[in-house]
Amino acid sequence: MNLIDTHCHLTFDELAGDIDAVIERSRAAGVAEWITVGTDPQENRKAIQLSERFENIYAAVAIHPHEAKTVTAGTIQELKQLAQHEKVVAIGETGLDYHYDFSPREEQKKVFAEHLKIAAELNLPIIIHCREAFDETIEILEEYSSGIKKIVFHCFSGSAEQAKIVLDKGFYISFTGVVTFKNAEKTRLAASVVPLDRLMLETDCPYMSPEPMRRQKVNEPALLIHTAKFLAELKGMDLTDFVEAVTATSRAFFKIL
Ligand SMILES: [Zn+2]
Ligand SMILES: [Zn+2]
In whole angstroms, give the CA distance from residue 62 to residue 125: 12
Is residue 199 within 8 A of residue 172, CB to CB? The reply is: yes
Ligand 2 centroid to 37 CA: how many Å?
6
Which pLDDT tens digit goes with each residue over 183-216?
A: 999 999 999 999 999 999 999 999 999 999 999 9
How far is the first Cα of the chain from the last one, in angstroms, to the nearest whole number? Answer: 16
pLDDT, mean of residues 77-88 = 98
In whole angstroms, give the CA distance from residue 85 to residue 107: 27
Ligand 2 centroid to 38 CA: how many Å?
8
Ligand nearest the Cα atom of residue 129: 1
Residues measured by CB to lie within 5 Å of ligand 1, the ion: 93, 129
Ligand 2 centroid to 204 CA: how many Å?
5
Residue 257 pLDDT greater than 90, yes or no: no
Is residue 23 within 8 A of residue 36, CB to CB? The reply is: no
Give 131's DSSP letter.
Answer: E
Tell how far CA 85 is from the center of its chain.
19
Residues measured by CB to lie within 5 Å of ligand 2, the ion: 204
Share of the chain above pLDDT 90, in %: 99
- What does pTM read for this prediction? 0.97
Ligand 1 centroid to 37 CA: how many Å?
9
Which pLDDT tens digit goes with each residue over 150-169?
A: 999 999 999 999 999 999 99
The confidence score (pLDDT) of residue 119 equals 98
The confidence score (pLDDT) of residue 29 equals 97
Mean pLDDT over each residue of the chain, to the nearest integer: 97
Q: Is 132 exposed, middle or buried (0-12, 13-18, 19+ CB in 10 A)?
A: middle
In whole angstroms, give the CA distance from residue 93 to residue 36: 10
Ligand 2 centroid to 93 CA: how many Å?
7
Ligand 1 centroid to 154 CA: how many Å?
6
Residue 109 pLDDT greater than 90, yes or no: yes
Is residue 176 within 8 A of residue 155, CB to CB? The reply is: yes
Ligand 1 centroid to 39 CA: how many Å?
9
Four-residue CA torsion sign, 91, 30, 46, 98: positive
Ligand 1 centroid to 24 CA: how many Å?
25
Ligand nearest the Cα atom of residue 95: 1
The confidence score (pLDDT) of residue 200 equals 98
Which pLDDT tens digit goes with each residue over 135-150?
A: 999 999 999 999 999 9
The residues, any chain, with a CB within 8 Å of residue 154's CB and separated by 6 or more, are 6, 7, 92, 93, 127, 128, 129, 174, 176, 202, 204
Ligand 1 centroid to 202 CA: how many Å?
11
Q: Confidence band (pLDDT; 50, 70, 90) for 1?
A: confident
